[in-house]
Amino acid sequence: MSDNRRLWTLALFLSVATTGAMLQMRGAVLPTLSTEFSPPAWQLGLVAPVGTIGYLTVMLVVGSGAGHLDSRRFIIVGLLGSAVALLAMGLAPAFLVFLLAIGIRGTMTGFVRALDRPVLSHFYPDDRGRMYNRYDMAWAVGAALGPVAVAAAVALGSWRLAYGALAVVVVVAAALFWRLDAPTVESAEEPLTRESAADLLRRPEIVAMLAALFFVTGVEGGLFTWLPYYAAAELPEGVAEVTLTVMLAAYVPGRFACGALAERVGYLPLLAGLAGALVPTFAFTFVVAEGYAVLAGIAVIGLLIAGFFPTMMAYATDAVPQHSGPVNALASGMGSVGVGTVPAVMGVVIGGSDAATAMQYLIAPLVLALVVIVLAGLAERRRNRVAAAAGATED
């Protein structure tokens, strides 16, 4: 491995770990912000969408133009902008200032995330499944550490310390990119034209990715949003508080294992196995299990669901490696739609019933994701047979 590729990979993993920390710190600090600033509940509810709108807009625009852009320069700008926004959040004198800084931070992070995975894709064109899972494993490490950083900062005297410390780490990441030469990649990103965009959206691998990611990221969003609420209502005190942490911690070994298996097993067989195992695990955890058995089931769910997003992205990117930026943007956009839609539907269910019933309903999108993957596998076999027959005819 060249020094250029090794150092770029290290810098990319550090930057995505800070992104995970930013996201999970946001939820962990809300109770403290509520006490300190006393904002109305509707303002607290804006934290997630304000951070997402700018992020998604930049992801889609910049990701679609990845073939035209200087990745290193845009990533540095995004990291430095994120650091400034984090400092503003840590110094915010009022909740609305904190909210505005979240919006800026989300926008700046969009510049980084729109281009970092495509760079990784072209560094490792024959090893995307492993590297995408390693990349998202780094995100999970940061996500698991984010709430710990908030708790430590509060113990030291102020939640603001957590944002100042994270801003310093983000500046360090920007400095790493600043010192790096342009990435020496093994394949190249091609500009996306109107014609190639239409062809991209018609590809069966892209359609399968978008459909499967909607269902699975919807389940993840439902868990991130409602698992603590479910746990507080259904589990003993002391167990409820650690459920989400346990699930996020399980993402790390889950993504490591999927990275090791992706190229050996094949993307679609691995994804089918993950989805097939998730269905009975969900049924056991939210229908049968009680007490600590629920916690064990949640850990297994985290282990299984962790590798789905990066592996599905690697599958789709392998079909159109010259457009990894747009694939990254489409996957992130659909993921945000899933994360936003399913929890909202669950809220309606909980309003009319209870959290346990809403959790049980998550089995349905998992079954649909499994159906999509099986159909994608059958379609791939059919395409391979047609290609083999055409090759035999030419011979």
In terms of pLDDT, which residue wins out, 380 or 350?
Answer: 380
8-state DSSP, 193 = P
Tell me which range, 69-73, 152-156, 234-238, is most confidently predicted by mean pLDDT: 152-156
- Least confident piece of the model among 6-20, 88-102, 380-394: 380-394
More confident residue, 334 or 238: 334
* Least confident range of 102-116, 174-188, 207-221, 268-282: 174-188
Residue 2 has pLDDT above 80, yes or no: no
Q: If pLDDT is split at 50, 70 and 90, which confidence band does 70 have?
A: confident
Contact 23, 150 (CB under 8 A): no
Give the domain-ending residue among 189, 213, 243: 189
Among the three residues 160, 189, 218, which one is the final residue of a domain in this structure? 189
Structural contact between residues 90 and 78, judged by C-beta atoms closer than 8 angstroms: no
Encoded tokens for 1: 């491995």
Q: Which domain holds residue 21?
A: 1-189
HEC letters along 88-105: HHHHCCCHHHHHHHHHHH
Q: Are residues 185 and 205 in the same domain?
A: no
Asked if residue 264 has pLDDT above 70, the reply is yes
Residue 195, pLDDT > 90, answer: no
Mean pLDDT of 327-335: 90
Which pLDDT band, with edges at 50, 70 and 90, does 349 fall under?
confident
Residue reference for tokens 């110094």: 91
133 and 206 in one domain? no
Give the end-to-end CA distance of the chain in Å, rounded to a whole number: 39
The count of structural domains within the chain is 2
Answer yes or no: is pLDDT of 395 > 70: no
pLDDT of residue 354: 83
What pLDDT score was predicted for residue 376? 95
> For residue 338, is pLDDT > 70?
yes
Q: What is the secondary structure of 41-87 as a DSSP string?
A: HHHHTTHHHHHHHHHHHHHHHHHHTGGGS-HHHHHHHHHHHHHHHHH
139 with 208, same domain: the answer is no
**Could you tell me the CATH number of the domain that includes residue 58?**
1.20.1250.20
For residue 190, give the DSSP letter: P
Q: pLDDT higher for 373 or 54?
A: 373
d(CA 213, CA 208): 8
Does 112 have pLDDT greater than 90? yes
Instruction: Give 14's pLDDT tier (boundaries 50, 70, 90).
Output: very high
Mean pLDDT for 2-23 is 92
Q: What is the dihedral of CA 207, 212, 218, 220, to 10 degrees?
A: -140
**Residue among 303, 276, 289 at smallest CA distance from 372:** 276
- Average of per-residue pLDDT values in the chain: 89
The string of pLDDT tens digits covering residues 315-328 is 999 999 988 999 99
Which residue blocks in 203-354 are alpha helix, DSSP H? 204-234, 243-265, 267-283, 292-305, 308-319, 324-352
**266-285 burial, b for 16+ CB within 10 Å, e for fewer?**
ebbebbbebbbbbeebbebb
The per-residue pLDDT for 392 is 63
Residues 55, 107 contacting (CB under 8 angstroms): yes
Taking the CA atoms of 8, 10, 16 and 22 in sequence, report the sign of the dihedral they define: negative
State whether 204 and 185 are in the same domain.
no
Name residue 374's amino acid: V
- Position 186 scores a pLDDT of 63
In this structure, the answer to whether residues 133 and 239 fall within a common structural domain is no
Average pLDDT of span 191-204: 86
Asked if 168 and 282 sit in the same domain, the reply is no
Rounded to an integer, the average pLDDT of 289-294 is 86
On the 0-12 / 13-18 / 19+ scale of CB atoms within 10 A, 392 is exposed
Same domain as 184, residue 201 = no
Residue range 16-31: average pLDDT? 88
3-state secondary structure at position 260: helix
Q: What percent of the chain is predicted at pLDDT more than 90?
A: 55
51 lies in the same domain as 183: yes
**Does 49 score more than 70 pLDDT?**
yes
Q: Are residues 28 and 48 in the same domain?
A: yes
How confident is residue 183, by pLDDT bands cut at 50, 70 and 90? confident
Domain boundary at 156, 189, 222, which? 189
Across 251-257, average pLDDT: 94
pLDDT at 139: 93
Q: Do 237 and 384 reside in the same domain of the chain? A: yes
Asked whether residue 308 falls in the same domain as residue 330, the answer is: yes
Token couple for 130: 């492993």
User: Which pLDDT belongs to residue 31?
Assistant: 81
Percentage of the chain with pLDDT > 70? Answer: 97
Task: Please state, in angstroms and as integers, the Cα–Cα distance from residue 382 to each residue in 23, 204, 315, following that order.
Answer: 41, 12, 17
Q: How far apart, in Å, are the Cα atoms of 234 and each of 20, 78, 296, 348?
A: 28, 42, 15, 19
What per-residue confidence (pLDDT) applies to 391?
Answer: 66
173 lies in the same domain as 201: no
